[in-house]
Amino acid sequence: MNQKEQLYNRSEAGERIRNRRERINLSRKEMAVQIGKAEKYYGDIERGYCGMSLETMIEIAGCLGLSLDYLLFGKEDEHELPEDFRCILFHLKKCDEKKRKKIIELLRIYLSE
């Protein structure tokens, strides 16, 4: 990666965050609660109005199932799971064990047809 590619652009990072949040159907308010930040501050991150601490970046990346490379630079790792897989995993993580087992059972039945 050359030096120009390594520059962090807050607006572009915010757009990647917003796009991912919308794809997994989280409201801005829900996302702010998940990362323990005020909704206005989180909205400012998405709009690129403000930067964020490393801790906040890690919280957002973890919550949305994104790598820090992708969040900051838009660079996807060839070993990363495809977007639709990450979305499924995000929703599965929010379920309790009983519900996850039921979902997996239904998925196996559906895929065996």
CA distances from 74 to 7, 22, 38 (A): 11, 17, 25
pLDDT along the chain (113 residues), means of 10: 66 94 91 94 95 92 87 75 74 85 87 81
pLDDT of 46 reads 96
Residue 31 CB contacts under 8 Å (≥ 6 apart), including other chains: 21, 42, 60, 63
pLDDT of 74 reads 84
Contact 95, 103 (CB under 8 A): yes
pLDDT of 77 reads 65
pLDDT of 5 reads 55
